[in-house]
């Protein structure tokens, strides 16, 4: 990561808003995940509403370039920027900052970002009440498509909030839904599908899978992608696979006067991302060490998602590492800390926060060896 000699600040919402109000030009750089993307959308929409020029970009390991006279904000990494936002959920802090700038911030987008970060929406956050005023809650599963059993099959097959036998396996998902023998998606059918999904997700899985699967259950319904959890899944997919599309999607969503454009294209990205992630995890070569579960995958697999799914539904250890020969991703306890330490030892570029970490420019053997040492 480029070093400029200026230390990053851990920014509360108030100081972030004040800096954006005073800036003539703002560079927003976000890590490649749904929470950071939702945060970027909030701030970019606020800057647009106040006629402040900005540039927005998304990368797994942000390449920070600080320019005199501009404000550089890094969302998701403790980078050498003017301001860095690292406290999760990032989207909640960005929501408050956007509101302080003087715009009507999008609470539903912020809530989706929090879900993408792994949080269960709660009433103690400032965005929960304004978000849920626009949403309903029902039994069932959180997918970004809805309406009938066919779209439910599509949702189950391509969700990355869960990993089970029906993931990236449309026929298996169809058999699961068909086995309910339901004529319509009423409340009872939604309850039965949720139970079936939960049972299959914890089958032959580590004990903590029972907690992880809760992210996909009992969804908040509404927003541009059927459910908040489904919205989070689409944001995460676009951030990882098509960041340019993700930026446009998040900015459109955060602007009250516009519906997100290219929603169908975003859903196609979501399907491709899920297929690559689930297939990569199943086909990957695995190894288990004390405190670490390793998955070696093909270069086409989205490493961050593979690592997250492996840690949640495959790994008996507290930390999962996904590698493809040139990059690595970590998910689990102290993942960001471990990634930064390995980056220093291996002279590779790395970033991370809380339970996620990314390393670029590192081969699979070195990544596995150095992470084992760090753990």
Residue in 219, 237, 225 with CA at minimum distance from that of residue 151: 225
DSSP, collapsed to helix, strand or coil, labels residue 276 as helix
Residue 3 CA to residue 319 CA, distance in Å, equals 29
> Mean pLDDT in the chain?
91
Q: Exposed, middle or buried, 179 (CB in 10 Å: 0-12/13-18/19+)?
A: exposed
Q: Which residue has the higher pLDDT, 96 or 259?
A: 96
Q: What pLDDT was estimated at residue 122?
A: 67
Which residue segments constitute the domains of the chain, with CATH numbers given? 1-135+224-262 (3.90.1640.30), 139-218 (no CATH), 284-374 (3.10.310.40)
Q: Is the Cα dihedral 143, 37, 15, 107 positive or negative?
A: negative
Q: Look up the pTM and report it.
A: 0.94
Q: Answer yes or no: is pLDDT of 153 > 50.
A: yes
DSSP, collapsed to helix, strand or coil, labels residue 222 as coil
Q: pLDDT band at 259, cuts 50/70/90?
A: low
Residue 58 CA to residue 355 CA, distance in Å, equals 19
Q: Answer yes or no: is pLDDT of 369 > 90.
A: yes
> What phi and psi, each to the nearest 5 degrees, are found at residue 87?
-75, 120
Mean of pLDDT values over 49-76 = 88
Q: What pLDDT was estimated at residue 243?
A: 96
Residue 198 CA to residue 289 CA, distance in Å, equals 28
Mean of pLDDT values over 249-261 = 77
Residue in 27, 103, 82 with CA at minimum distance from that of residue 59: 27
Residue in 31, 105, 25 with CA at minimum distance from that of residue 63: 31
Q: Answer yes or no: is pLDDT of 1 > 50.
A: no
CB 316 within 8 A of CB 328: no
């Amino acid at each position: 990561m480029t070093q400029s000699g200026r230390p990053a600040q851990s920014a509360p919402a108030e100081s972030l808003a004040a800096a954006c109000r005073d800036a003539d030009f703002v560079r927003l750089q976000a890590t490649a995940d749904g929470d950071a993307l939702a945060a970027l959308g909030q701030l970019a929409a606020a800057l647009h509403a106040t006629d402040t020029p900005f540039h927005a970009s998304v990368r797994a390991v942000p390449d920070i370039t600080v320019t005199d006279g501009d404000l550089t904000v890094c969302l998701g990494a403790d980078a050498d920027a003017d301001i860095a936002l690292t406290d999760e959920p990032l989207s909640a802090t960005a929501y408050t900052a956007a509101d302080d700038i003087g715009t009507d911030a999008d609470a539903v987008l912020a809530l989706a970002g929090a879900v993408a970060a792994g949080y269960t929406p709660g009433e103690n956050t400032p965005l929960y009440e304004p978000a849920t005023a626009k949403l309903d809650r029902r039994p069932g599963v959180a997918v970004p498509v809805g309406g009938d059993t066919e779209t439910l099959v599509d949702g189950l097959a391509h969700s990355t909030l869960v990993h089970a036998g029906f993931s990236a396996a449309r026929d298996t998902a169809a058999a699961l839904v068909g086995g309910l023998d339901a004529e319509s998606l009423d409340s009872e059918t939604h309850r039965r599908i949720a139970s079936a999904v939960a049972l299959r997700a914890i089958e032959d899985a580590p004990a903590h899978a029972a907690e992880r699967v809760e992210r996909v259950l009992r969804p908040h319904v509404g927003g541009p992608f059927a459910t908040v959890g489904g919205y989070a899944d689409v944001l995460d997919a676009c951030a990882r696979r098509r960041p340019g599309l993700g930026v446009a999607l998040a900015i459109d969503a955060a602007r009250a006067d516009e519906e997100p454009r290219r929603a169908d294209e975003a859903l196609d990205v979501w399907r491709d991302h899920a297929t690559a992630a689930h297939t990569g995890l199943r086909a990957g070569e695995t190894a288990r060490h004390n405190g670490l579960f390793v998955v070696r995958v093909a270069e086409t697999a989205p490493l961050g998602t593979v690592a997250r799914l492996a840690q949640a539904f495959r790994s008996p250890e507290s930390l999962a590492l996904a590698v493809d020969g040139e990059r690595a991703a970590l998910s689990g306890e102290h993942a960001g800390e471990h990634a930064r330490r390995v980056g220093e030892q291996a002279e590779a570029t790395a970033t991370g926060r809380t339970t996620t970490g990314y390393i670029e420019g590192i081969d699979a053997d070195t990544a596995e060896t150095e992470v084992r040492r760090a753990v």
